[in-house]
Amino acid sequence: MPKNATTPTDETEPGRNAIHLSLQGKGGVGKSFIASILAQYFVARGKAIRCIDTDPVNTTLFQYKALSVSRLELLRDGGIDQRGFDVLMERLLTEDATFIVDNGASTFIPLWNYILENNAVEVLTRAGKRLFVHTVITGGQALVDTLYGFKSLVDSTSDQNIIVWLNEYFGRIERDGKCFEEMGAYKDSADKVLGSVHLTRRNQDTFGHDLEEVISRKLTLEEAIKDGPFTIMSKQRLKVMQRDWFEQLDRLDLI
């Protein structure tokens, strides 16, 4: 996949006051997980972070105590109060940090519409901020739905700021014998994609079981490796996954 075709100015240097949104219209595909990995990555690379959970239903990221996640309340009278996004924008524009924002499936359309209708990307850019949008493509039954979510993002942006996470947890990402990079959904929009992170499906009895334990306990990988209730070999497998994901993120030049 392509990397950024333009060299950012000093004002919008990727690692300086960057904002990372985890967005996907399909629930249960790993949005909060990738947000947690992003947060852990930036901490490991010495960045000051601010994590915000905007999911009004499943506050998964908020449960990671080590990440000091704050919640954005968006529900009012049983619906989404879009003015709540003004509060989010205020923080993004006035606080000096790398932001990781986890967005729920139920607020995917409201938030993205808010960003488009209010020219939020332009406002952020003028303030010296750079927006990255992380979206998940997963195998199995959710493949079509996640491809649809991906297309709705790339079709409505003119920027090359989409980062695709290829999550094989539910199976290989393949359709009609084609991998994601060979699918029309990607080929038609490759110029909008900054890069990708591949969450390879590993042995489910070892790597898979260890990762599920970490996720269920809402531990960071570093917590699990250093002090978690895991065997030596479980910790070794967690190190392997952590190194793999962090090295892929390094190649995207987000710091």
Write out pLDDT tens, residues 121-150: 999 999 999 999 999 999 999 999 999 999
* Alpha-carbon distances of 179 from 68, 122, 133, 143, 228, rounded to whole Å: 37, 34, 21, 11, 36
Q: Are strands 162-167 and 193-199 parallel, antiparallel or unpaired?
A: parallel
> How much is the pLDDT for 5?
34
> How much is the pLDDT for 15?
53
> How much is the pLDDT for 201?
92
Mean pLDDT, the chain, rounded, equals 91
Q: Are 245 and 43 in contact (CB under 8 A)?
A: no
75/132: higher pLDDT = 132
Cα 247 to Cα 244: distance, rounded to the nearest angstrom: 5
> How much is the pLDDT for 83?
87
Task: Give the residue from 39, 86, 78 showing the smallest Cα distance to 56.
Answer: 78
Cα 83 to Cα 97: distance, rounded to the nearest angstrom: 23
Cα 149 to Cα 135: distance, rounded to the nearest angstrom: 8
* Domains of the chain listed by start with CATH number: 10-203 (3.40.50.300)
Whether the per-residue pLDDT at 65 is higher than 70: the answer is yes
Whether the per-residue pLDDT at 13 is higher than 60: the answer is no
Percentage, residues of the chain above pLDDT 90: 82
Quick one: tokens of 32?
A: 């909060």
pLDDT tens track for 146-194: 999 999 999 999 889 999 999 999 899 999 999 999 999 999 999 999 9
* Mean pLDDT, rounded, for 52-74: 93
